[in-house]
């Protein structure tokens, strides 16, 4: 191996990147007392299998149940390198919670911020797929339901149709090399996130972020994953389909 790295700088650089890479996994939570502990344990379990410095950062977004207490207990269980949590005294919304997580990643000099949901519909078994693409240096990595080996499991037909139509329109308008635009399971280089200002506090922050990042870089890629339904234990989803939601997503496609 010494001889190989001596004569192959690209191999040597890749090995250094793998050894030193810092990743912040941002997990927004609002009233998730039923699944918060299981979610954090599961994500950390998969994160530990990866090289580098990886921290799961749960953002307690003004929860009114016991989510905050559960996260405090987990902070005692794990060391600071493995787990941290941020608490907002008010409910800022999905986008607001992400911005708190991004601020943490920037302040602590992480290389990538990876965003995933707390209900395990974005299963952490796919973290390895992300890690492999991070090791290749991509700026923006999206999990995709609409590429080979991607898909959905148990998602209602109506939601699948809405998603397919929405993502098809987004691809046609933006012409970005992606097939899954609305999915929030993604990783972004922190140096890229430093250069943009996110304003949305709702789920449309996903499209806002993507559009603003696309003005800085075209270094995108996707990894396949299966979107699963939210478990009955976790309760109902916080996401609602309505005309305001559609407009908040669509407006970023045309600016």
Q: How many CB atoms lie within 10 A of CB 4?
A: 10
Nearest to 25 by CA among 229, 224, 213, 184: 184
pLDDT recorded at residue 2: 40
The predicted-structure confidence for 38-51, as pLDDT tens digits, reads as follows: 999 999 999 999 99
**Which parts of 177-252 are beta strand (E)?**
186-189, 220-224, 226-228
Nearest to 167 by CA among 227, 123, 120: 227
pLDDT recorded at residue 231: 59
Counting runs of H as helices and runs of E as strands, what totals does the chain give? Answer: 10, 9
Q: What are phi and psi of 211, to 5 degrees?
A: -65, -40
Q: Running along the chain, 255 residues long, what does each successive block of 10 average in pLDDT?
A: 40 49 97 97 97 96 98 97 96 97 98 96 96 97 95 82 74 82 95 96 92 95 90 52 59 65
pLDDT recorded at residue 8: 44
pTM: 0.84
pLDDT recorded at residue 243: 55
At the topology level, CATH places domain 17-253 in Spore Coat Polysaccharide Biosynthesis Protein SpsA; Chain A (3.90.550)
pLDDT recorded at residue 230: 60
Q: Domain ranges for the chain, please list them.
A: 17-253
Calculate the alpha carbon distances from 84 to 33, 172, 196 in Å.
17, 39, 24
């Amino acid at each position: 191996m010494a001889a190989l790295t001596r004569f192959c700088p690209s191999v040597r650089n890749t090995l250094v990147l793998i050894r030193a890479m810092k990743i912040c996994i941002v997990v927004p939570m609002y009233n998730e007392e039923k699944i918060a502990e299981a979610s954090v344990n599961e994500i950390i379990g998969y994160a530990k299998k990866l090289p580098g410095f990886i921290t799961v950062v749960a953002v307690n977004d003004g929860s009114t149940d016991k989510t905050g207490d559960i996260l405090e207990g987990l902070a005692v269980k794990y060391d600071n390198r493995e787990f941290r949590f941020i608490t907002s005294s008010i409910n800022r919304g999905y986008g607001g919670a992400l911005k708190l997580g991004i601020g943490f990643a920037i302040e602590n000099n992480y290389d990538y911020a990876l965003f995933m949901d707390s209900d395990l519909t974005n299963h952490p078994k796919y973290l390895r797929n992300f890690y492999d693409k991070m090791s290749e240096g991509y700026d923006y990595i999206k999990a995709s339901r609409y590429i080979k080996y991607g898909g959905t499991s148990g998602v209602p037909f109506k939601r699948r149709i809405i998603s397919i139509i929405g993502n098809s329109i987004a691809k046609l308008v933006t012409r970005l090399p992606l097939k899954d635009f609305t999915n929030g399971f993604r990783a972004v280089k922190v140096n890229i996130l430093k250069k943009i200002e996110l304003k949305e506090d709702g789920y449309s922050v996903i499209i806002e972020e993507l559009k603003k990042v696309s003005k800085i870089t075209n270094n995108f890629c996707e990894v396949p994953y299966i979107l699963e339904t939210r478990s009955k234990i976790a309760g109902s989803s916080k996401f609602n389909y309505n005309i305001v939601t559609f407009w908040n997503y669509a407006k970023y496609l045309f600016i």
